[in-house]
Amino acid sequence: MTIDLPVRLLPVTEYWDCHGCGICCRHVIIPLSPEEYARIRNQGWEQDTELAGRRLFVRMSFWKSQYRLAHRPDGYCVFLSPQGHCRIHERFGAEAKPLVCRMFPYQLVALDRFAYLTLRHNCPSVISQHGRSLAEQEDSWRPLVETDRFRMRAIPPPPLTATYRGNWNQFLHVANAVERFLTDTRYPIVRRLVHAVLFAQLLDRCRLAQLEPQRFVELVGLLEKAIAKEADPLFGERVPPDRTAQFVFRRCLLEYYRLHPGCQIVTSWRGRFAWILAAWSMATGRGRVPSLADPEKALRFAPASRPVGDRSQTQTGEARPSAIATPEMGLALGFGQDNREPLPSSHSNIVVPEWVDLRALQESLGGLHRDVLFPLDDYFEKMAISKRYAICGRKGWPLTDRIRALAMSFAAGLGLLLLACPEKKPTQEDVAAVVIALDRGETYRILGSTIYRRRLRVLDRTGQLIRLLLWYSR
């Protein structure tokens, strides 16, 4: 018997409204249910002068009749107009769009007795907390979370460690300890992540299956209290990671690089060749990669921003663009799509990328003001409070490995900042673009693979994961 879980909001207030930036409509897979595919296919788009003859759907499986929306050469959804509006929404209303588009950026996190409703940080408005609170939007999200597709039901918790699963009480007890680490504002975020990684290391060494419930609680409390003192010596002299760790880090960085909203690889033979060169440079640690677009272009579809308004429409009455938010969704570079539609005017200057020397990764970011780093701090705090890192994505991963992945994403985020700002100090918008890449990575298949998990475990076992954290935050 399955039990439907009630939906709650986080104990901290989250704000958001759509401002039509189009970030959620670029390089994002929109899977369609059979009903959605049939409905959109029968909407008569073959008679539309702009879409007639274009590829609107892509088959996702050779064996199953499962489809997704197609992309344009620049990675945007084929139904996104040059004005940044969803054509389906404009013509037939919000109800006619795919359900995952209507759900973005809402994210459900199923726990033992209830499900949290939180926001994906794959949106500049979420990152800047620009808009209404989730409590004010209940009329918008309540009908969505009560659909069969998104209704949350009770499930077993992920394993605690590679050798011990545990129950929901134990899982939440450990996850709450991690939350306390990552929301402890006495320390900078890098120190909080080091505490969480050390905590995961100690948990992996314990024989948790032999402990009674009360002993388990006592053990977690003792480990939590001992972490700060154990971390002190690590911040004395920061030692660079070894060559193997640097190689693994660059492989990881390459995946986050392609998820960055400023990634300038486009669909063409030239774009493919540029990507091959970038991958080779990352593998060897020498050479150049295409530069990441400035946030002024990367975080906006059109030069002019739109005012805050209703979730479905802006205050000017313009329809919001299509979007996506499910744990199963992936991201794509969009190679092989129909290449007849031009780039939107605001992105017309990114076809020919400039290049950044990878020696930028050897530099230091220097001292950054806390206000500049606020998007990173807020992202990791909300991930910890909502338990999203511990529940969503990375199917089969134990909690301790999910903690390592979270820490590695921070190091990758700092690496992205070095590549995005090789000759200038990062701004809060630069950090916001990095947060979007990190959020996308949480549900990205390669960053949730068994191979990636093994690499993280090897790095942690040899002490190199914490070295990476300390080195890139120096």
pLDDT for the residue 149: 84
Pairwise CA distance, residues 197 & 443, whole Å = 21
Residue 80: is it exposed, middle or buried by C-beta count within 10 angstroms (0-12/13-18/19+)? buried
Pairwise CA distance, residues 181 & 196, whole Å = 6
**Closest Cα partner for 299 from 410, 207, 199, 430?**
430
Please state, in angstroms and as integers, the Cα–Cα distance from residue 25 to each residue in 203, 322, 460, following that order.
40, 6, 36
User: Can you give the pLDDT of all 474 residues of the chain as single tens digits?
Assistant: 456 899 999 999 999 998 888 888 887 888 999 999 999 999 988 888 888 888 899 998 878 888 999 988 778 899 988 888 899 998 998 889 999 899 999 999 999 999 999 999 999 999 999 999 999 999 999 999 988 888 888 889 999 999 999 999 999 999 999 999 999 999 999 999 999 999 999 999 999 998 999 999 999 999 999 999 999 999 888 889 999 999 999 999 999 999 999 887 766 778 788 888 889 999 999 999 989 988 888 887 643 333 333 333 333 333 333 333 333 333 332 223 333 233 333 333 334 458 899 999 998 888 888 899 999 999 999 999 999 999 998 999 999 999 999 999 999 999 999 999 998 899 999 999 999 999 999 989 999 999 999 999 999 999 999 999 999 998
Residue 40: is it exposed, middle or buried by C-beta count within 10 angstroms (0-12/13-18/19+)? buried
pTM here is 0.86
pLDDT for the residue 3: 64
Distance of CA 346 to the CA centre of its chain: 24
Q: DSSP state, 25?
A: G
pLDDT for the residue 266: 67
